[in-house]
Structure 1
């Protein structure tokens, strides 16, 4: 039996949530699909991985699953990073690569960079939530320009060969069900959310989880994080099931989900543009930076939620 990335993600989601239904929310698939995948994996391994609880959806890991879970936390990030690296390295060498972390202007980046090049194929967009990976790829000149984000007290550190500039200081919105009592407020204080169940992205090199817990601690409470969602779709699904989450300022509306601004500039971030100092891009970096900042501003103004705060 050969374990692949999908198997490891399945076992991790079930093990961390202790529930087939909550694992389904995190993975963005149905509960029957989770149950079927787990059964096929157990049959292939010839061993039970999780013992079912009385409710039918709660589970307890077996010793074999405990072994897998212990190794997955170290192995899975490396496997996922390897897959991304191979995808980038096997692209045609003449392509210009740009990319970075999720941001309102990331999808504008290829066209903006292309507009400041004399000729050649359109740039290839690389998407990664790992800030350190993006910076490393820029330093190795595997990315022409990258987008990263950082947080107050947890600023990004770049090598001497890499230059960077701030694109924007971004506010944070809290996402909650439309029928949540706090949804009637236009602005919500972080301290008002102390009794909520939170859904957050998985921990990464940006150290957001440390920033988040420090910010909540400064308001006098320890947050109860119940979900770790790898995609925004999974985040929205968890919010619809009663959790609260966070979003960048320029966000679109979602059915049954309300987005409200956090008070006191809580949990804000910076978006940064990074590039190699000796690359051809360095000569046009100021112009690209201006265009990217404009793209961010236009996205904010076009956002059905955030635009009213700007107004």
Structure 2
């Protein structure tokens, strides 16, 4: 087997993350697949690159010599591809899930004045596949921590084609109509959800089985799933419209809510990660930093428009570690 750029990325990622399991998560690969690929690489170079242990991996003598060279190869390849694409003058095409506010595209265009920005809204898995094919430059997709889910998988050739950066971790909260008695609750426990809403006469809407949020609802509600479900939706916006117009309850991430409904925090729920995905050679490091920074700043701007959510973020900064630079300093800090 001849070494290829994708092999260099595998070795560098394992070295950077410090373990095969963490490398697999970073690359969006099943751990057995990554282990098998590393073994093939080690056979090709004629020796082990890492010493495995329960605490992670450390480079062997051979690894200590080769890993820095492979890291330099990856860096140079990314720079070449990014410069080539910039010279071609093509637009930056960003995919997003659920809905894409015009102001988000405007913010990205302002941050990248020399690059035309185009946005598309499409389901998470379709966005992942579009980035893998190259029809999208990058995509913002939701990811539920754990194996599988949007953003996982490899290309048809087995190449871990996508880079990723965590933008923010969002909680999953209860949405109720404005003025409802539950709107005054400061906090609910997940095991209270079905009981509390039934006691207060609230039926529910749930996500349809083929929508990415369906698995999140199942994890949050568990055995406490509500009995009265009026409708199954296929987007957060549809769910919020039902809450606003029909007076039902629904689960949502704060970014999926609308001002006409009230969000009630729920303790101990599943968190949803908003992840930026891109092809490893399609975007320069400078552009990536700009994308991540702009989306995080935009997210905080949205949170400020929801006083209850912004106040929660300020009181619980450890839940939003990726956004620390955008949160105000605690009083007395």
TM-score band (shorter)?
0.5 to 0.7
4+ runs of 1 displaced by more than 6 Å?
A: 103-106
Asked if structure 1 preserves the Cα contact closer than 8 Å seen for 2:211 and 2:234, the reply is: no
**CA separation of 1:230/1:213 partners in 2, compared to 1, >3 Å: closer, same or farther?**
closer
Residues 174 and 250 in structure 2, CA contact (< 8 A), matched pair in contact too: yes
Higher relative helix content: 2
| Shift of residue 300, structure 1, vs aligned partner | 1.3
Q: 1:165, CA displacement in angstroms?
A: 0.9
Aligned to 1:161: 161
C-alpha distance in 2, partners of 1:222/1:200?
10
Q: Is the 1:301–1:310 Cα contact (8 Å) retained in structure 2?
A: no
Q: Deviation string for 1:131-161 (max 9, x for gaps)?
A: 1100110111111110000113354304311
**Which runs of structure 2 are paired with 1:1-311 in the superposition (5 Å)?**
94-102=90-98, 107-109=103-105, 111-112=107-108, 115-116=111-112, 119-120=114-115, 122-128=116-122, 130-153=123-146, 155-156=149-150, 157-159=152-154, 160-194=160-194, 195=198, 196-204=202-210, 206=212, 208-217=213-222, 220-224=223-227, 225-239=229-243, 240-250=245-255, 251-254=257-260, 257-264=261-268, 266-281=269-284, 284-311=287-314
Query: Contact 2:204 / 2:230 at 8 angstroms: preserved in 1?
Result: yes
Residue 297 (structure 1) shift: 2.1
Contact 2:172 2:253 in 1 (8 A): yes
Q: Which runs of 5+ in 1 are unaligned?
A: 1-92
Instruction: Work out the CA distance in 2 between the residues paired with 1:267 and 1:141.
Output: 31
For the residue of structure 1 that corresponds to 2:139, the secondary structure is strand
Deviations 1:81-100 (A, max 9, x none): xxxxxxxxxxxx95432121
* Aligned partner of residue 205 in structure 2, secondary structure: strand
User: Do the aligned partners of residues 259 and 148 (structure 1) sit closer, same or farther apart at CA in structure 2, a change above 3 Å counting?
Assistant: same
Q: Does the CA contact (< 8 Å) of 2:204 and 2:226 recur in 1?
A: yes
- 1:272 is displaced (CA, Å) by 0.2
TM-score (norm 2): 0.55
Query: So what's the TM-score if we normalise by structure 1?
Result: 0.58
The alpha-carbon distance between structure 1 residues 190 and 145, as it changes in their structure 2 partners (threshold 3 A), is same
C-alpha offsets along residues 172-194 of structure 1, whole Å, 9 cap, x if unaligned?
23111234332221222222221
Larger Rg belongs to:
2
Q: How many residues align?
A: 210
> Deviation at 1:281?
4.2
Contact 1:138–1:146, Cα closer than 8 Å, also in 2: yes
Structure 2 unpaired stretches of 5+:
1-88, 155-159, 315-333
